[in-house]
Amino acid sequence: MTDILENLTKTIDFIKLESPNSKIIILGSVPQWKPSLPIILIRENITLNRSNYIQLLSYKKLKNVDEKLSALANIKKVEFISILDNLCVNRKCLATTEYKSKFWPTAWDSGHLTEAGSVHLYTKMRELIHK
C-alpha cells in the first residue's frame, strides 16, 4: 500500500504542476467479490428480479484502504469520493440493479463494474463529481 500511496502522491504533484487548474478527485475502492459476483449470485440463488444488497466479506479491508486514500487526499488538498459509501449500506453492497428495464449484476467479475453498475454509481455520484 505504501508504494501505491507514494505513486499516487507523485501523480497528484505532477498534475498540479502541469495543470494547476485541474480538479483532482481520488475515487475509493469498488466492492471486491470473491470469487466473482456472478458466482456468488448463483450460489446464493439470487435472481435478477429486483435490486439486492449482499454482505461484502472484504468490506473492512477495502474501507481501510479508503481511509488511507482519504487521508492522502486531505494532505494533498484534493477531493476523495468513497465508492463504498455510494454502493454499500451496513457492509452490504449493491449486487444487482435495474438498468434499461431489466435487473443486472453490478459487476461482471470480482470487481469490474458492468454498464448497469457504472451507470448506477455515476447517477449516485454525479452531484459530487460536478460540484
C-alpha cell at 103: 435487473
Q: The pTM is what?
A: 0.89
C-alpha cell at 118: 457504472
pLDDT in single tens digits along all 131 residues of the chain = 779 899 999 999 999 999 999 999 999 999 999 999 999 999 999 999 999 999 999 999 999 999 999 999 999 999 999 999 999 999 999 999 999 999 999 999 999 999 999 999 999 998 888 76
Instruction: Using alpha carbons, list the distances in angstroms from residue 72 to 76, 82, 87.
Output: 6, 13, 22
The CA distance from 17 to 82, in Å, is 25
The CA distance from 48 to 101, in Å, is 11
Can you identify the CATH homologous superfamily of domain 2-129?
A: SGNH hydrolase (3.40.50.1110)
Q: Where are the domains of the chain?
A: 2-129
